[in-house]
Homo-oligomer: A and B are copies of this chain.
């Protein structure tokens, strides 16, 4: 099988490495809009060859789009315009509703598989690609009923082959859940970092006093704007909904501290503690 990965950053680069590491592809081609990224990806051995989009359509059995989410729909449509009934186009983006709507009426929609492998780090670019990524995590496949069975089966094989489990979901449900368990975490981290940098002018003090707790909560604040602005825009309404609730809960907690309401604070922390039961199952 020949695979072409479009977008050779954290996700695309790690996916290319995983394909090669698990011998799932005899050849991995790469496409990247940035020639610097393309060269770097080749130099790092993430892909075997850099090709044009046209060449990709000519040679690849599977074309995986791993660009920022704002570039995915147009690329998906251009690729579906050109591929045959044997080829498969898939994406790996963090939002699904906009994409699935835009391709919904395409006559070759059936050759597309919309996926979101739930893995990532706060780093970006080809240098951020790591071996062993994705393993042990879940991939969501959205609207599998609109894709050909052979295409879904092939994509499932690839994800299972790199150590992932598969879940199925509507694009709408996916975007709601992703806002809760992924997108909001990035916002809380970005703003925590901003607040601390604003209030704490002595960066040496942050450096010296920050323990593992602080590092853990602001880790995601290192994430790339090029990846995250499109996600925030495409999943805007779900994200605003969770964000409003988060601010509301913070206000309630702030007032409880102001009033020395120990009992209310205790109830909130006890409720927060129950997240342990969920996370420790993992």
Contacts and interface: CB of A to CB of B under 8 A. Distances in A.
Interface of A: 118-122, 137-138, 140, 167, 177-178, 180-182, 184-200, 203, 205-225, 228-229, 232-233, 236, 239-247, 249-251, 253-254, 257-258, 260, 262, 265-266, 268-276, 278-279, 281-282
A209 B183 CA distance: 12
Contacts of A236: 257-258, 260
Nearest to A233: B260
Given A120-B213, A240-B257, A192 B198 contact: no
Contacts of A140: 209
A269 B182 contact: no
B260 A195 contact: no
- Secondary structure of the A side of the interface? helix
A25 B241 CA distance: 55
Nearest to A173: B205
B207 A182 contact: no
Nearest to A167: B208
A235 to B, nearest CB: 10
A217 B185 contact: yes
Contact of A217 (B121, B217, B262, B265): B217
B222 A276 contact: yes
A140 to B, nearest CB: 7
B253 A191 contact: yes
Contacts of A245: 195, 198-199
Contact of A251 (B137, B247, B272, B282): B247
Contact of A270 (B220, B225, B240, B257): B225
Nearest to A238: B199
B274 A197 contact: yes
A194 to B, nearest CB: 5
Given A178-B209, A192-B188, A262-B229, A243 B257 contact: yes
A196 B275 contact: yes
A204 to B, nearest CB: 9
Nearest to A253: B191
A214 B182 contact: yes
Contacts of A271: 193-194, 197
Given A217-B189, A275-B221, A282 B207 contact: yes
A234 B260 CA distance: 10
Given A196-B180, A253-B191, A216 B214 contact: no
B249 A218 contact: no
B273 A209 contact: no
A224 B270 CA distance: 8
